[in-house]
Chains A and B, each alone.
Chain A
Amino acid sequence: MPVQKRVNVVTIGAGWAAGIFAQKLTEAGYNVVSIEQGPARWASPDFEHNHDPLRYHVRHAMMVNLANETWTWRPNPKAPTLPMRQYGSFNPGKGIGGAGIHWAAQTWRFLPFDFRYRSHHIERYGEGKLPEGSLVQDWPLSYEELELSYDAFEYDIGLSGQAGNLNGTLIEGGNIFEGPRSRPFPLPPLAMSIHGEMYRQACQSLGYHPFPQPAGITSQAYTDRFGNTRSGCLYCGFCTRYGCEVDAKASAVTTHIPAALRTGKYEIRPNSKVTRINVGKDGLATGITYIDAAGQEQEQPADVVILSAFTLENVRLLLLSKSDSHPNGVGNDKNMVGQRYTYQLSQSPVSGVFEGRRFNQYMGNSSTIYVIYDFYGDNFDHSDQNFIGGARMMAGSGERDPVTSVGGMPIGVTSNSPGSNNPSERSRNWGQGWKDDLRKNWDGVVALTFEGDILPYTDQFLDLDPIYKDKFGLPLLRLTFDFHDNERNLYKFIAARSKEIVQKMGPTRLNSTDELGPYNIHEYQSTHCTGGAIMGDNPDNSVTNKYGQVWDTPNVFVTGAALFPQNPGANPTGTIGALSYYAGDALAKYYFQEPNRLMA
């Protein structure tokens, strides 16, 4: 096998986390190579002509090619397993910038109590409040420890929004539930949509505290500290699942990767797939093996290996990398790899039809809306509730395109043909009545959505599939996952609140789903898969320490949402960025002084 020149650091993937580590480490003088499974691409010229929902949304051009590899799923350990043969539940990306190219760019900080998830709930409600079979635990670091990293990430990417808590002072119009920020947002919020404004007014009349969605999308032209200049948002409506043609939507490609490349110490090898982490007799990693663009297997020796692929691929690679020193895979000496897999409860329980209205929902993006945090996490009293956790709630978004929205228009909302004599036609999602409704109401249907907690459970985990393989013959990763009572109860509560809000918005009629059905893998819900290689305060309850440094293989670092002990509901990228800044700084400053040692 050809062996490439040894480098200080090799990253698996060239997405958000890899870009951040590469920027920090090359700035500190180390050389870094990223092995990226997908292509090279930049805003110009690659995203200029991508306003094509069929290619980018329906056909998933930017996502991992499922013909080559996928994930298998079963709802519980006793149920049969089948592969996800076509895209559904989640959308991992490929290519330079990773899923950070096609993300929606809703950018959050987790709240201070999210980091003390277990202690907080026990202190407030007693241990009996934790659902049976759940495995929640505290993070090994606090909001306060991470605040400067959040702040640095947000300024580097040009975050748009309105602060609600500036050094402890609450600011109306911002998120008054957030943890204290040391500085305001670098940019003001994006412009808000018509239905967004209606949602704001409805929430306010109910006594809630709406605020503009914080966005990793520049509301104005912005020059970052590396000298990258980016346009403000054009509200074109081609955002999630597309690359931004003017770099208004932040990614590692708008920000960190150009800075790293300019040092001359950074290389990215595109269209190359990492197949394992190599481990020596001493139990330390020696580098990685990959298959290059030409199909040739290559070895890349490195002092440090950084797992910065998608959550599920990071976990899979740890499990695939079996060796004499770590017979169950890297990080898995105590069988913790794959444990605490969770997901995000991302649902639309209610929609309203505002007959004849045109809200321009094809303009803007998922951040041109208001949000409430009144029912997020433990922002409300759970003493009388039969669940823990909560959700952030909002009304629809922009970026609606017909190809992907027409089919899902809820029956009974769009297909209400009062003129029809045929009763069955009123519930048909096809035919003349359906067509007339689309004509009238396609842009007048607003969905209320929420994103909430899912806890880790004993019967919910990741492991290698015993049957299905990828195109190289390596086992796929198997997901064992389903919703539990806590999620069902949480859903019911949030759905009822959503219904109250939409009623205040004054729709002609509404459609609601009051109960959460079983999890399925065929409907897109959220790409916020978390856990599987969680961080913790000791090797018995986790795979890594607070830097993502693997307990049993200290020159391997895990990044991203695999590190989250549980999923608190807010979208993960803000925290993935902050954790990468936190660990990247430590690696650049301290690690190489005493290599191969666990950092304190």
Chain B
Amino acid sequence: MSEENKNLTSENQAQASGHGILNMTRRGFLQLSGLVAAAVAGAGIAARRNAPVVNLPPNEIPVQSQYPEVPYAPMEPPPANTLVFFTPQEAKTVEALTARILPGTPDDPGAREAGVVNFIDKMMAFNEGFAEPTYRQPPFAQTYEGDNPPQDQNQYQVVWVKKDELERYGFQSNHSPREMYRKGIVAVDQYAKSKFQKSFAELTEDQQDEIVDDMANGKTTGFDEPSDKDFFKQLRNDTINGMFADPAYGGNNDMVGWKLIGYPGAQRAYTPTDMQTEDKPRPPQSLAMMHHFHPGQPEPNVILPVSGSDEHSAEDNHMNMNP
């Protein structure tokens, strides 16, 4: 084990309240990950500069946060009662919108009960709300209708694209999701007021459905950037992510999204028989509930883990791996 790895291990053990490295829980693992993520952002870089070369055999490589531009799942769900980006009024509108995309009741949870607005709020805190690293260099696209771009092109460099061709190019906005939400929420409430004289969250569900339907079909007034359709698309994507991503991200409370559709979540293994049998799905399991699993050194003549459910095989696997 390298010096760097030793250091990381001992620090991790201290932080993980006495868990040994081999019996490290999910929590311990993530603390380690978080630790390294922090180190990479700061002081850790110096250590890595001195050791940029990988010529070690497998399994002696230090644990690193390999993709610092994409956050790890948090150790536990962020608190739902603290907003980091939305104002309380904005959160109310967003929650009401998500609750029309996936409606629910306490007995049959939907986006509101799953805490989707909490997921979106915390997502906005990272990387300007972008779900993924995004190329943001200019020039940006400018659309036109008709056969030719306008003659009176101004002094700014833009790329002129026919309006109905733009979709083929994917995301091209110079707005971040943060900006889209800030402006989109205002536009929704204004449109709601123009149609029903109340802000969106105050409307009846049927009225709200009318508004959402208008957005989805591009029939509203008052939206500029983002367009009504684009804002709906963003809301729908984020609602899906918040409803169905691991609960550690702040949505999918109590795994209600997974229970809705019968998805068992993060499982270690299934047997061929499991796969070939139509049966009730296993109870769902989140990342935090996953057993620690360490395949160990791939030595000759050691039987590595074989198929089996997580609950029943984890201990056996450990025994196999540490003969």
**A contact set with B: CB distance below 8 Å:** 38-46, 48-49, 51-55, 58-62, 65-70, 73, 75, 79-88, 95-96, 191-194, 197, 221, 223, 227-238, 245-247, 253, 258, 261-262, 264, 266-272, 292-294, 357-360, 362-364, 368, 398, 401-403, 406-407, 424, 428-432, 434-435, 438-439, 442-443, 467-469, 518-522
Contact status of A268 and B64, CB under 8 A, knowing A221-B304, A237-B267? no
User: How many residues does chain B have at the interface if contact means C-beta atoms less than 8 Å apart?
Assistant: 104
Q: DSSP majority for the A interface? A: loop
Nearest B residue to A435 via CB reads B102
- Nearest 3 pairs of A and B residues by beta carbon: A522-B170, A191-B272, A231-B304
- 10 residue pairs of the A-B complex, CB under 8 angstroms, read A48-B292, A49-B30, A66-B134, A67-B69, A261-B57, A403-B245, A434-B102, A438-B260, A442-B263, A520-B169
Given contacts A358-B278, A443-B262, contact A232 B70 (CB under 8 A): no
Residue among B131, B139, B271, B298 with max Cβ neighbours from chain A (10 Å): B298
Report how far A73 CA is from B299 CA in the complex, Å: 47
B263 touching A401, Cβ below 8 Å: yes
Once the chains are docked, how many angstroms separate the CA of A567 from the CA of B218? 39
Which listed residue, B53, B134, B305, touches A268 by the CB 8 Å rule?
B53
A235 touches B271 (CB 8 A): yes
Which of B44-52, B79-87, B223-231 contacts the other chain? B44-52
Find out whether the CB atom of B66 lies under 8 angstroms from the CB atom of A52. Answer: no
Chain A CB within 8 A of B73 CB: yes
B-chain residues with CB within 8 Å of residue A229 when the two chains form the complex: 298-302, 304
How far is A221 from B292 in the complex, measured between Cα atoms in Å? 21
Taken residue by residue from 169 to 184, chain B's Cβ proximity to chain A (1 for < 8 Å, 0 otherwise) reads as 1111000000000000
A534 to B132, CA, bound (A): 33
Give the residues in chain A near B270, CB-CB below 8 Å.
Answer: 234-237, 360, 363-364
CB within 8 Å for A83 and B137 given contacts A232-B307, A234-B305, A439-B260:
yes
Instruction: Say which one of B88-96, B160-168, B186-194, B196-204 lies at the interface with A.
Output: B160-168
A368 CB contacts on chain B under 8 angstroms:
275
Are A406 and B244 in contact (CB-based, < 8 A)?
yes
In the complex the two chains form, is B305's CB within 8 Å of A75's CB? no
B236 at the interface (CB under 8 A from A): yes
Q: Is B10 an interface residue (CB 8 A)?
A: no
Alpha-carbon distance A49/B272, docked complex (angstroms)? 22
Chain A, Cβ-Cβ closest to B216: A430
Question: Which B residue sits closest to A260, measured CB to CB?
Answer: B55
Judging by beta carbons under 8 Å apart, are A406 and B240 in contact? yes
Residues from chain A with a CB closer than 8 A to the CB of B61 are 40-42, 46
Provided the pairs A85-B135, A430-B100, A521-B168 are in contact, do residues A46 and B66 lie with their beta carbons within 8 angstroms?
A: yes
Q: How far is the CA of A432 from the CA of B56 in the complex (A)?
A: 55
**Bound form: Cα–Cα A432–B105 in Å:** 11
A235–B110 CB distance below 8 A: no
B99-113 CB contacts (< 8 Å) to partner A: 100-104, 110
Apart from the given pairs A85-B135, A245-B295, A438-B260, 13 other A-B contacts in the complex at a CB distance below 8 Å: A59-B131, A61-B66, A86-B132, A96-B54, A233-B307, A236-B270, A261-B58, A293-B48, A368-B275, A401-B263, A406-B261, A435-B102, A435-B110
Give the contacting residue for B262; candidates A66, A83, A84, A358; CB below 8 A.
Answer: A358
Are B305 and A193 in contact (CB-based, < 8 A)? no
Also in contact, A268 and B298, with CB within 8 A (given A407-B237, A435-B102): no
B57 to A84, Cβ gap below 8 A?
Answer: no
> Once bound together, how far apart are the Cα atoms of A338 and B25, in whole Å?
50
- Bound Cα distance A197, B136 (Å): 46
Residues from chain A with a CB closer than 8 A to the CB of B240 are: 402-403, 406-407
Is there a chain A Cβ closer than 8 Å to B38's Cβ?
Answer: no
C-alpha gap A178/B52 in the complex (Å): 45
A515 to B79, CA, bound (A): 48
Is B26 interfacial (CB 8 A cutoff)? yes
User: Looking at the complex, which one of A58, A235, A262, A398 makes contact with B241 (CB distance below 8 Å)?
Assistant: A58
Contacting pair B135 A70 (CB below 8 A): yes
Interfacial chain A residues near B132, Cβ < 8 Å: 58-60, 66, 86-87
Partner of A403, one of B137, B241, B295: B241
A residues within 8 A CB of B136? Answer: 67, 85
What B residues does A40 contact at CB under 8 A? Answer: 54, 61, 64, 66
- Complex contacts, A230 vs chain B, CB 8 Å: 298, 304
Within 8 A of A (CB), among B208-267: 209, 212-213, 216, 236-237, 240-241, 243-246, 249, 257-258, 260-267
